[in-house]
Amino acid sequence: MSEDRTPARSLGGRFTEATHPVLERINRSVDVDRRLWDQDIRGSQAHAAMLAHVGLIPEADKDAIVAGLDAVRAELADGTFVFLPSDEDIHMAVERRLGERIGAPAGRLHTGRSRNDQVMVDVTLWLRDNLPVLRSALVAWCAALLHQAEHGADVPMPSYTHLQPAQVSSVGQWLCAHAAEVSAHVRRLDDLLARLDACPLGSGASAGGYLPIDRRLTASLLGFARPTVNATATTGSRTDLLDVVGLLALLGTTLSRFGEEIVLFLSPSFGFLTLPDRLTTGSSLLPQKRNPDGAELLRGAGKLAAGDFAALASAVAGIPSGYSKDLQADKEVLFRAWDRTVDLVALATLHAEALGWKADRLAAACTPELASLWLADRLVLAGLPFREAHHLVGRAVREAVEAGTDLHGGLSRVLDAQPDAVSDPDELRTELRAMTPAALLGALVTEGGAGPASVRAQVATLRASLAPRA
């Protein structure tokens, strides 16, 4: 037998020299994946229990491994665990430390598994632990929006299309629009969580192995419903992670648009909203300034998750099936998108809870021509085809602009010039006079519309939608 020329490196038997330091540094993922330590240890303990159950390792070794992992866990929990430069990732670090603590039995732990399935069980367990935390945060944000919406159900404000005033709506309707998106994200999250029910562990490197392991037992020990279907897909695919980062990207669009509207409506040019000092910042130069930096960060940082999704999708796209090192980027992207999103949802909740509105400014922004749709619909109820009603009201608006009067004046000019356009011109004029912003709001009848009864119904429906899935 030739002499053993194995260099000092992990996984060393195959090699005759140490890894180049540049490759070693770039290859290392432990700074990112160390946060999976608890999941890694749980996975290893379940794996060891399964190995002993099927007779692949002695009971005594299993007991030593499980107890040793408990001790390693304690070191990680209290911060006394020392990571070494040679620890490539959390899996190697834990196994290395286990060996230092319990000696030979540690060498049996990696039987029938690979880091390729280990990393996936760690991440999947992490998501199962943490998605409920994000869910609670979303529910708190949605609940704050709905609480405010309830109070704003009777407060008229303009609604916009193309950022042009469109019709009279309400603060309640505006806030329910954001709450409806958040509620949909909660349901997406629930769908996603329900699908993360299959255990990756035991898939091996790519196509399983030759030992009689029991993946169903491992799955049930870890609280999964079943093992994953295909070992190659399990280890080489990241579509579930893309799903999660995709959810964060969607969530980011809602955060961003909520932030933008706060910025916009807080600007003195609109002057619709108020925010307490604790959610605003000063200027280093301009003494009078009070800036909505938090809302701007909702808008700006909210967009970044879409970039994270694109980053992960491009790391995954184009690689062959089975694990490739490209996939190691997944956790860096997931965790940065995750941490940012959790912070932003908390920030959005603070804004939703604290924002106030200036009812007088909102009512003043509901200018008379916002009664145009009411007027056209009123003509339809009187028997006019909608296109004719639209034309007549459009003319009234034009007359009003040209004569420098309001919609009522414009309508009068149209009716004076064309008295037979409607059957009851005087009644119509009187009714239009009475259509204050509050009256326009109260007259809305569409389900899902801004009518106060509709908004209260929306609040109830959206609240019910947040209940945990049975």
Kindly state whether residue 328 participates in binding ligand ARG, applying the rule CB under 6 A: yes
The residue within the footprint of ligand ARG, chosen from 44, 45, 116, 169 (CB under 6 A), is: 116
Whether 162 sits among the annotated catalytic residues: the reply is yes
Kindly state whether residue 124 participates in binding ligand ARG, applying the rule CB under 6 A: no
Whether 465 sits among the annotated catalytic residues: the reply is no
**Among candidates 366, 356, 248, which has minimal Cα distance to 306?**
248
437 contacts 363 by C-beta, under 8 angstroms: yes
> What is the C-alpha to C-alpha distance for residues 47 and 118, in angstroms, rounded to an integer?
10
Kindly state whether residue 119 participates in binding ligand ARG, applying the rule CB under 6 A: yes
Kindly state whether residue 203 participates in binding ligand ARG, applying the rule CB under 6 A: no
**Per-residue buried b or exposed e for 201-240, using 16+ beta carbons within 10 Å of the residue's own CB:** bbbbbbebbeeebbbebbbbbbebeebbeebbebbbbbeb
If the CB atoms of residues 29 and 44 are measured against ligand ARG, the closer one turns out to be 29
Alpha helices in 267-303 (DSSP H): 293-302
Which two tokens mark 253?
């669009």
> What is the C-alpha to C-alpha distance for residues 468 and 470, in angstroms, rounded to an integer?
6
**Per-residue buried b or exposed e for 277-291, using 16+ beta carbons within 10 Å of the residue's own CB:** eebbeeeeeeeeeee
- Active-site residue, selected from the candidate residues 2, 162, 269, 284: 162
Query: Per-residue x/- marks for ligand ARG, 17-36, CB under 6 A?
Result: ------------x---x---
Beta strands in 177-229 (DSSP E): 198-199, 226-227
Kindly state whether residue 340 participates in binding ligand ARG, applying the rule CB under 6 A: no
- Active-site residue, selected from the candidate residues 10, 267, 283, 321: 283
Handedness of CA 71, 77, 81, 83 (dihedral sign): positive
By CB under 6 A, the residues from 368 to 427 that bind ligand ARG are none
The residue within the footprint of ligand ARG, chosen from 73, 96, 113, 115 (CB under 6 A), is: 115
If the CB atoms of residues 89 and 150 are measured against ligand ARG, the closer one turns out to be 89
The residue within the footprint of ligand ARG, chosen from 87, 89, 150, 261 (CB under 6 A), is: 89
In the complex, the smallest distance separating the C-beta of residue 244 from ligand ARG, rounded to whole angstroms, is 16
If the CB atoms of residues 325 and 433 are measured against ligand ARG, the closer one turns out to be 325
The residue within the footprint of ligand ARG, chosen from 179, 327, 389, 392 (CB under 6 A), is: 327
In the complex, the smallest distance separating the C-beta of residue 154 from ligand ARG, rounded to whole angstroms, is 54
Kindly state whether residue 458 participates in binding ligand ARG, applying the rule CB under 6 A: no
Q: Which residue has the tokens 């490196």?
A: 9
C-alpha dist (Å) from residue 421 to 296, 385, 388, 396, 433: 50, 12, 10, 12, 19
Active site residues: 162, 283
The contact set with ligand ARG (CB under 6 A) reads 29, 33, 89, 115-116, 119, 323, 325, 327-328
